[in-house]
């Protein structure tokens, strides 16, 4: 099957999942065409059955903002016709679904039918999509898609609540390549990071307000009162300055390491003891899944789709958003007993196995087959 994948090329969850899905589909014999304004970050090698088509956006004095949606639509029409694609799979509703539907309608005038599958990832529905100025366009684009998928049941319910969608949304959860995240921890790396044998906590995100990274520091500060520990912060973003300031105010800078953006995140996670995710909302919690695959239990908020991944009392703990004290207490409970920590680690890994790429990709393939057979 020839599949066109439209996604954002950034390190964000939707771009990562879309790229990893495309790479997996290519390995399974499909021909995959990525269509975006820049080569996706995770598309870091050339491989058989993988192609990339850049969307060139010209700037004109007349426009304050480049007309990306129109340019993307024209590029989709061109790629579908020239490459004879069987299906378009767009990730993130805005503006990809709208552009794909417009391309579908243009091609239909020429007697070419191209099915469109839209995968919802989270903020395209719960944040950006809630803008009333966009509601009618998003609703129309979803209803005109041949299939809609969502990465969690929570996001599915939010979509029905926020938009006028009159068709089925099927849940296909996010996934990871378990083989990539099954590396043995490098002990020399662990000793270099924790020379005094400290417990190692970690948080990874894009440092936006919704991730509540300041809560991570507050939790860690309380943990330090009872546990000899260090904190690794992986990522970067608009809240970086505020986080650094709070780190100084709490006087914990010597125990906190800012590592910036990292590609080989599995190398870092494999040496850690506990993952903190106090997010205000998460459609799924891909970063937590990556941690769990590396045998790292998770203390998180109970927001959005996180409870569908993190099993309270088994793979970690769920607490109310903003309840820093409870998250710290659960963290201390896990870290204060070696046997207990070992059990949480084992349960985290077992849970992550359910989301292996080899289990999830066939669900997308079945969706493709159903849509193309209509």
User: Per-domain residue ranges for the chain?
Assistant: 2-175+356-373, 187-355
pLDDT at position 201: 98
Give strand pairing partners of 91: 119
Q: What percent of the chain has pLDDT over 70?
A: 96
Q: Which fold has domain 187-355?
A: Rossmann fold (3.40.50)
Radius of gyration of the chain (CA): 22
What pLDDT band is residue 45 in, cutting at 50, 70 and 90?
low
Fold agreement (2-175+356-373, 187-355):
yes
Does residue 81 register a pLDDT over 60? yes
Tokens describing residue 195: 């020379």
Does residue 223 register a pLDDT over 80? yes
CB 347 within 8 A of CB 297: yes
Tokens describing residue 35: 């269509």
Domain 2-175+356-373 belongs in CATH node 3.40.50.2000:
yes
Q: Average pLDDT for residues 333-348, to the nearest whole number? A: 97
H/E stretch holding 296 reads: none
Measuring CA to CA, which residue among 50, 106, 47, 120 is closest to residue 76? 106
Long-range contacts of residues 59-68, Cβ cutoff 8 Å, at least 24 apart: 68/37, 68/95
CA dihedral 104, 105, 110, 114 (to 10 degrees): 20
Q: What is the pLDDT of residues 111-120, one digit of tens each?
A: 999 999 999 9
- First and final C-alpha spacing in the chain: 15
Tokens describing residue 133: 């100025």
CB 335 within 8 A of CB 341: yes
CA dihedral 167, 287, 322, 128 (to 10 degrees): -40
Q: What is the pLDDT of residues 251-293, one digit of tens each?
A: 999 999 999 988 888 999 999 999 999 999 899 999 999 999 9
Does residue 42 register a pLDDT over 80? no
What pLDDT band is residue 12 in, cutting at 50, 70 and 90?
low
Q: What is the pLDDT of residues 182-195, one digit of tens each?
A: 877 777 788 888 88
pLDDT at position 128: 61
What pLDDT band is residue 39 in, cutting at 50, 70 and 90?
confident
CA distance linking residue 23 with residue 28, whole number of Å: 9
pLDDT at position 129: 54
**Where is average pLDDT lowest: 46-50, 69-73, 329-333?**
46-50
Q: What is the pLDDT of residues 123-150, one digit of tens each?
A: 777 666 566 777 888 899 999 999 999 9
This prediction has a pTM of: 0.89
CA distance linking residue 204 with residue 261, whole number of Å: 9
Q: Average pLDDT for residues 223-232, to the nearest whole number? A: 96
Average pLDDT, the chain: 91
């Amino acid at each position: 099957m020839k599949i066109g994948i439209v996604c954002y090329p950034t390190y964000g969850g939707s771009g990562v999942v879309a790229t990893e899905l495309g790479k997996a589909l290519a390995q399974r014999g499909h021909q995959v065409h990525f269509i975006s304004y820049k080569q996706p970050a995770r598309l870091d090698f050339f491989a058989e059955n993988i192609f990339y088509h850049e969307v060139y956006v010209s700037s004109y004095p007349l426009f304050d903002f480049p007309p990306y949606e129109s340019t993307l639509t024209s590029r989709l029409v061109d790629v579908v016709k020239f490459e004879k694609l069987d299906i378009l799979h767009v990730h993130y509703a805005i503006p990809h679904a709208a552009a794909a539907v417009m391309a579908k309608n243009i091609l239909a005038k020429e007697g070419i039918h191209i099915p469109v599958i839209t995968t919802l990832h989270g903020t395209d529905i719960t944040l950006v999509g809630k803008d009333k100025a966009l509601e009618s366009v998003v609703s129309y684009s979803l209803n005109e898609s041949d299939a809609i998928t969502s990465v969690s049941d929570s996001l599915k319910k939010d979509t029905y609540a926020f938009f006028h969608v009159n068709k089925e949304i099927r849940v296909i959860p996010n996934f990871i390549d378990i083989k990539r995240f099954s590396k043995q921890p490098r002990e020399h790396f662990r000793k270099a990071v924790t020379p005094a044998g400290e417990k190692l906590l970690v948080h990874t995100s894009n440092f936006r307000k919704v991730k509540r990274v300041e809560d991570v520091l507050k939790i860690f500060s309380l943990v330090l009162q009872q546990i000899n520990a260090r904190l690794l912060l992986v990522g970067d973003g608009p809240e970086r300055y505020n986080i650094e300031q709070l780190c100084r105010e709490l006087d914990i800078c010597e125990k906190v390491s800012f590592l910036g953006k990292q590609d080989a995140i599995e190398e870092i996670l494999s040496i850690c003891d506990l993952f903190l995710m106090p997010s205000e909302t998460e459609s799924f919690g891909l970063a937590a899944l990556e941690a769990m695959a590396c045998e790292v239990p998770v203390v998180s908020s109970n927001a959005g789709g996180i409870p569908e991944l993190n099993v309270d009392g088994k793979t970690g703990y769920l607490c109310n958003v903003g309840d820093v004290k409870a998250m710290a207490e659960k963290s201390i409970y896990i870290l204060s007993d070696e046997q207990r920590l070992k059990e949480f680690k084992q349960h985290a890994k077992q849970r992550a196995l359910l989301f292996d790429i080899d289990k999830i990709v066939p669900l997308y393939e079945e969706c493709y087959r159903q849509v193309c057979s209509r």
